[in-house]
Amino acid sequence: MPTVGVKRDLLFKALGRTYTDEEFDELCFEFGLELDEITSEKEIISKEQGDSKASGASDVVLYKIDVPANRYDLLCLEGLVRGLQVFKNTLDAPRYRRVSPTSGEPQKLIITEETAAVRPHAVAAVLRDITFTQERYDSFIELQEKLHQNICRKRSLVAIGTHDLDTISGPFTYTAKPPGDISFKPLSQTKEYTATQLMSLYKTDSHLRHYLHIIEDKPVYPVIYDSNGVVLSMPPIINGDHSKITLKTKNVFIECTATDLTKAKIVLDMMVTMFSEYCSQPFTVEEAEVVCPDGKTCKYPELAYRKEKLSSEFINKKVGINESTEKIAQLLTRMCLLSQPTGAGDEIEVEIPPTRSDVIHACDIMEDAAMAYGFNNITRTTPRTYTVANQFPLNKLTELLRQDLAAAGFTEALNFALCSQEDIADKLGKKISETKAAHISNPKTAEFQVARTTLLPGLLKTIAANRKMPLPLKLFEISDVVLKDETKDVGARNCRRFCAVYYNKSPGFEVIHGLLDRTMQLLEVKSVRGDGYHIHAADDSTFFPGRCAEIFVRGKSVGRLGVLHPDVINRFELTMPCSALEMDIEPFLGLTAETTLTHDVPMQEVVKHEFPTQDQSLQAPSSRPTSTKTVFGDMSTPVGLKALNDFLADKSYMEGFAASQADTAVFDAIPSPPSSTFCHLRRWYNHIKSFQRERANLPTAKSQLVLAATTPASANTSDDEIDLFGSDDEDSAEAARIKEERLAEYAAKKSKKPALIAKSSILLDVKPWDDETDMGKLEECVRSVSMDGLLWGQSKLVPVGYGIKKLQIGCVVEDDKVGTDLLEEAITAFEEYVQSVDVAAFNKI
């Protein structure tokens, strides 16, 4: 969410009262905002650049407030104060009006047809007789920047230009010319430049260089002239110095050029509504005419009010409250949505002002009503539907496999879901057209161009980043890949894969083959053709000829394994042989990962459905067996219940991944519901109790967990059968006591062992601003970062493109002391050299 920084004292002065930090935090929450941080300019500079740079900075307290991304009216102090005052009923929502000039014709902006090749749309307006102070001026400039970063999408959709109207004369012309034909003096410069020279000049500007790509490849650049040929601006890059606004400016001409006309109208409305309160006639905006290339004339700003109708029943039902129509209308009015009952039943007419462009559906109005009512005031209710939670089967299987693969001696890696085209195609000896890869339309870097279609490149890159580690390197990853699929509504689908690699002086194919056998054993798939699994020789450009096999399960291909081709190994900068295994794990579930686990039930059906009473639900189709003896012990004793509780600590069922007769048998052996002391057992007990109605249809048990009941001694027992040396119950009680004592001694010894220090190996990509950055100095700055628990390792320069290289540097950190966020923050503080820091690889040691 965007963050707005406002001075606390200035904010309280505008609100007309003073709040404590806690009170203002609560007010923000009630209004749907979040007070993110209380800081100062000096504290911010000290944190980012050090105490030496912070000397002389302001100590004025700043509130950093997080606002919703679509609430453009809250991105400045003026809109924030206005919204809070209306919310607290200390101010009525203002009425914004578009007016004609008191004398003469409206200002006119003429668009020529040449602009169609770059930025075809433009809108304009005038703030007449406005009064600026330093605080108002700063807020005016900051709102432009917030809008540029938010709805304007970093000026790619809309660019805002503000000009001192008294220094220029209309009508104004918006056209496009070759860069060599445009010459003017830009803001903060002392001489004129051509557009070509400006593009070269701003390539090193830390602020403006991010916008050059929008037009630098275009044959013509957009430009706005006044009637005397004076350049107002070259959108979306820079304004002219001639028409810059100052504290003495009284009349402001605002123009917005855009590729999206709707966004341009919204941006213009926001600019004029937020600052029209400082005009001699508050909340009035002077209109301007825009003449399109086809001769059509439009007047801006639109400042359109629109009305929507909805019922109070809709709001009550969706929010979960029961308020009158009049009360809901009052709640909406507090959110700057002037509302009143129409008198037709429970219908409410809501007027949406030009500042609330975020309201596009009845649900948006409902959300504002809930906010005004107060989320904490909504009564908590129990859902009317009866459901039993269950872990997603695919994730359950994934977690179980991860544990056993780690136990087999392999280390788990976690890599990015995005990669370069080269990683999944060229480096693996394939063509990109042969892969079912989903491409990113506007990738920011060459490293993230497509969604990965295989897990293998990520593991090989992880090995390449850890070549200095002792051999052998055995890594695995279980995660999703993305494949194109025309049968899906989004044109692609996720597929859960398992991949493992073995890197050593010898290929180690037998190790990978053994891992496959172990995996199949865990999945309970036998090594036979037909109903089991088998491997068959195959050809694949990624693997060495004659050293590749395809894996078939129940006649269907699920993956491949083999020794990687030497060319593939070299392309990933590796020097030793490597074997790999990759296969799908979804087929082992018997259903796809996207199968719906529940079905939608219409609300009417849910309301009318009668659930069985507690007495009915407890009726079992078969009587409970008399035996309480199980393989875990006697279920009538605390010792037996504790053993079963420990068994269920990481399991949902007695056998496999679904309820079976084994669960119902053990359930029946428990004479009464377990106490809350046995949390795992109680969770399982309540879950299995919900299966009472369909227990007869559950799968049969694979093993006998409940033992046969012991025949009680006859009343006429002979003297030969009398136990003269003590009962079995006494022996079992004594054994249980001894067992408990030994467990307590073991736990005490274990607690005295020193805790292991968790460490991680991190590979960082540190990117410079451009090809002129001193990479040696950059590395020196990075290595100067010193923290307890941080050890820097090897580094190298990796080409990125266009002559630019990034620093790739490894480090080992103690997890409890150093985090990736802390590292990135410390490195990016060297903003003279560092543009960004990314985590290229992260592995637990």
The per-residue pLDDT for range 39-80, each reduced to its tens digit, is 887 777 777 666 676 677 777 888 999 999 889 999 999 999
The pLDDT, as a whole number, for residue 182 is: 92
The CATH classification number of 759-844 equals 3.30.70.60
Whole-angstrom CA distances from 318 to 322, 349, 511 are: 10, 18, 58
The pLDDT, as a whole number, for residue 710 is: 56
137: DSSP letter: H
Which residue shows structure tokens 């009952």?
341
Determine the Cα–Cα distance for residues 810 and 791; give it in Å rounded to an integer.
9
* Of 87-91, 517-521, 566-570, 609-613, the least confident: 609-613
Specify the fold of 97-300.
Phenylalanyl-tRNA Synthetase; Chain B, domain 3 (3.50.40)
Check pLDDT > 90 for residue 582: yes
Check pLDDT > 50 for residue 592: no
Side-chain half-sphere CA neighbours of 268 within 13 A: 31
Q: Which amino acid is at 747?
A: A
306: nearest Cα among 361, 358, 350: 350
Check pLDDT > 60 for residue 771: yes
655-710: pLDDT as tens digits? 877 888 888 888 888 988 888 788 888 888 888 888 877 788 888 888 888 887 65
Per-residue pLDDT band at 385 (split at 50, 70, 90): low
Sheet containing 759-768: order of strands: 790-801, 804-814, 759-768, 834-844
- 723's CB contacts (< 8 A; 6+ apart) are none
Q: Do 306-374 and 3-88 have the same topology in CATH?
A: yes
Q: Which amino acid is at 592?
A: T
Q: What share of the chain is helix, strand, coil (3-state, %, to 5)?
A: 35, 25, 40
Q: What is the number of other CB atoms lying within 10 angstroms of the CB of residue 546?
A: 9
Check pLDDT > 70 for residue 807: yes
Positive/negative CA dihedral, 465, 469, 474, 476: negative
SS3 466: coil
User: How is the chain split into domains, by residue range?
Assistant: 3-88, 97-300, 306-374, 394-417+452-588, 638-691, 759-844
Alpha helices in 429-526 (DSSP H): 456-465, 509-522
**What is the average pLDDT across 806-820?**
87
- For residues 235 and 224, the answer to whether their CB atoms sit within 8 Å is yes
> What six digits make up the tokens of 612?
């069985």
Check pLDDT > 50 for residue 419: yes
CATH 3.40.640.10, domain 306-374, yes or no: no
Phi, psi of 695 (to 5 degrees): -60, -30
SS3 486: coil
Burial of 621 (C-beta count, 10 Å sphere; 0-12/13-18/19+): exposed
- For residues 343 and 397, the answer to whether their CB atoms sit within 8 Å is no
Q: Please state the pTM of the whole predicted model.
A: 0.55
**What is the average pLDDT across 316-341?**
92
Q: Give the class (CATH, top level) of 3-88.
A: alpha beta
Determine the Cα–Cα distance for residues 832 and 770; give it in Å rounded to an integer.
11
The CATH classification number of 394-417+452-588 equals 3.30.930.10
331: nearest Cα among 304, 345, 310: 310
Burial of 292 (C-beta count, 10 Å sphere; 0-12/13-18/19+): middle
What are 583's strand-pairing partners?
498, 559
Percent pLDDT > 70 in the chain is 89
The pLDDT, as a whole number, for residue 749 is: 62
Check pLDDT > 60 for residue 606: no
Q: Which helix (H) or strand (E) holds 263?
A: helix 261-275
712-748: pLDDT as tens digits? 444 344 444 434 344 445 456 666 677 677 667 666 6
Determine the Cα–Cα distance for residues 326 and 344; give it in Å rounded to an integer.
13
